[in-house]
Structure 1
Amino acid sequence: MAEYPKILGVFSRKKADDIGSGGTQRRHEAQTYWYVRRLSEEQFEVQPLNAHHVPSGVKSTVPRLEFIYQYTPEPDYYRLHTVPALETLARKIKLGERYFNLGMLDDSELEFIKALMIDDLNVDANYGLGKVYSEQKEYEKLKKVVNTLMGLDGAFSFEHRQKLNEFGISLRKNGHFDESIRYYNKAIEYNKKDEHLLFNLARVHFDKGDRAEAAKTLENALKINPEFDQAQKFLRYCRKNS
């Protein structure tokens, strides 16, 4: 049985448009490049490449027959341009994370910025830069990164669940309560049945001093999972000390 999603590489798509009118009208054909993953036997995911040859921007799902007729494989483009660019991007993100774990925040910031120069919508690089600014207490810079992340659907996907939680915890621990609340509420919009996100949001409200809102949020978490032991204990504590 085939395992999905499966990376297929880069494909091109040609689109013809009529420019001008009457006797001056001419046909113009534009060629665009797309990063493609096969999601199933009948569905393909396409994402445009940016000027640096890496996938960036909105992903779309295309049915099999439409994909076959409209997209052409570009193995040389993928090998010569996209693979090296993706490898460079991955190295910069990995180095940024290494510097962050070593407490070298300025060096970490520089590597994440370099990564974002390749792909300004990269989720991992934005999360990394956000954690740096959270630790540095750079509120205005942090706010810009949070705004970027909140506009990226992929930031709240299951694939990035660990980074999502790490970033939210970093915001709370560093006292960025309003940004943390805004961020968690957005995450919950994408993950309405995740009791752990609600639990983490409750901790932010509690640390901010709003125990009534913390208790309400914990009650919502327990509606999803009544056996959530940590939430039960936290709720009892909030009610006892309100």
Structure 2
Amino acid sequence: MSENGKIHDLNGVFSRQRIAKVGTGTTTRRVAQVGYYFVEQVDADLFQVRPLNNNFVPTGDPEEISRDDLLKEYNPEPEMYHKQVLPNMKELQKTLARADRYRKQGNSFSAEMEYTNALKVDELNVRGNFGVGLCLMERGEKERANDIFARLIAMDAPFAGEHKHMFNEFGINLRKSKMIPQAVEYYARALSLSPNDEHLRYNLARAYFDAKEYGKARKELQTSLETNPDFDEAKKFIAYLDKNKLG
């Protein structure tokens, strides 16, 4: 059931058949290709569709479709949902929960192992990628952490609301790990997707400050105050820049 009380009666696994051309010239032929998708209802007439990977879990960024498109182009696969997809999704969540628990306990090696196990099931899993990156930075393994950073910066999913707490922690850890160029790029990427988030701008200003780019830091702080004039942290930061004649 959704937050507004509506029953999401069309959630589950669906298949879709498409006709594709195979071969070239005189050997060209048309073949039917079937894909399987995890579908979630987000509104009365709006659904999010994600493909299933080879491990039968939804992966990648969702595509939004209407109810009419769902009913016209997709066929329900309830048996696959209950016997394969739902159990695998639950197991993936258990693995991630174990990883989070290990990391909170300070056991970064066990946490990384569990996050890696999750990525074996879904290599695009946002929580798993963030988790590995955080474990590596906690241990000071900057080179490996930079590989994770490069993967995350290319994804849209890390900046979704449900991952915001991990996103912020990752960005803060980049800065604390003296990975300043990466931190700047990371927050700038996030702001391209959430331009009105004053806390992201504040964090970007902190990264610019560490890079000694005081003018850019001041500009981000001023923009954050345009969004939220009562943002005390930004006011204090600007006062510090003024006092020390920076930027």
- Normalising to structure 1: TM-score of the pair? 0.92
Q: How many Å apart are 1:19 and its aligned residue? A: 4.4
| Identical aligned residues as a percent | 35
Is 2:201 the counterpart of 1:191? Answer: no
Q: Distance in 2 between matches of 1:21 and 1:220?
A: 55
Match for 2:205 among 202, 206, 220?
Answer: 202
CA distance in 1, matches of 2:161, 2:75: 30
Partner residue of 1:155? 158
Structure 2 vs 1, CA of residues 206 and 5 (structure 1 numbering), >3 Å: closer, same or farther?
farther
Compared with structure 1, are the counterparts of its residues 240 and 25 closer, same or farther at alpha carbon in structure 2 (3 Å cutoff)? closer
Deviation at 1:128, TM superposition (A): 0.6
- The 2-side partners of 1:28 and 1:21 are apart by 13
Alignment of 1:108-147 (within 5 A): 108-147=111-150
C-alpha change, 1:239 and 1:29, in structure 2 (3 Å) is same
Which amino acid in 1 is paired with 2:179?
Answer: H
Mapping of residues 44-123 of structure 1, within 5 Å = 44-123=47-126
The one-letter code matched in structure 1 to 2:33 is A
Flag the 1:174–1:23 CA change in 2: closer, same or farther, 3 A.
closer
- How far 1:91 moved relative to its partner? 1.5
**Cα gap change, 1:240 to 1:14, in 2 (>3 Å):** same
Structure-1 separation of matches of 2:104 and 2:23: 57
**What SS is found at the alignment partner of 1:52?**
coil
Listed as ranges, the gaps of 5+ residues in structure 2 are none
Structure 1 counterpart SS, 2:11: strand
Over residues 59-112 of structure 1, what are the superposed CA-to-partner deviations in whole Å (9 max), with x where a residue is unaligned? 211122121011111111011111121122111111111111111111111111
Please list every run of 5 or more consecutive structure 1 residues that lacks an aligned counterpart in the other structure: none
| d(CA) in 1 for partners of 2:27, 2:176 | 64
Which residue of structure 2 lines up, in the alignment, with residue 230 of structure 1?
Answer: 233
Q: Cα offset for 1:7?
A: 7.0
Q: Is the 8 A contact 1:4 1:38 kept in 2?
A: no
Deviating more after overlay: 223-232 vs 45-54: 223-232
Instruction: Report the TM-score when normalising by structure 2.
Output: 0.90
Q: 2:217 aligns with which of 193, 200, 214?
A: 214
Deviation, 1:205, is 2.2
Quote how far apart the aligned CAs of 1:120 are. 0.6
Aligned residue type for 2:182: E
> Aligned partners of 1:130, 1:199: CA distance in 2, in Å?
22
Matched letter for residue 176 of structure 1? M
Quote how far apart the aligned CAs of 1:21 are: 7.9
1:14 aligned onto 2:17: yes
Query: Structure 1's 219 and 22: CA in aligned 2 closer, same or farther, altered over 3 A?
Result: closer
2:42 to 33, 36, 39: 39
Displacement of 1:209 in angstroms is 3.5
The range that moved more, 21-30 or 77-86, is 21-30
The question of whether the paired residues in 1 share the 8 Å contact of 2:61 and 2:157 is answered with no
Instruction: Check if 1:166 corresponds to 2:142.
Output: no
Cα offset, 1:145, TM superposition: 1.0
- CA 1:26–1:100: 2 relative to 1, 3 Å: same
Given the superposition, is the C-alpha separation of residues 14 and 211 from structure 1 closer, same or farther in structure 2, using an over 3 Å criterion? same
- SS, match of residue 103 in structure 1: coil
Aligned-residue RMSD, C-alpha:
2.1
- Whether the 8 Å CA contact 1:171–1:177 is kept in 2: the answer is yes
Residues 81 and 211 from structure 1, CA distance in 2 versus in 1: closer, same or farther, beyond 3 angstroms?
Answer: same
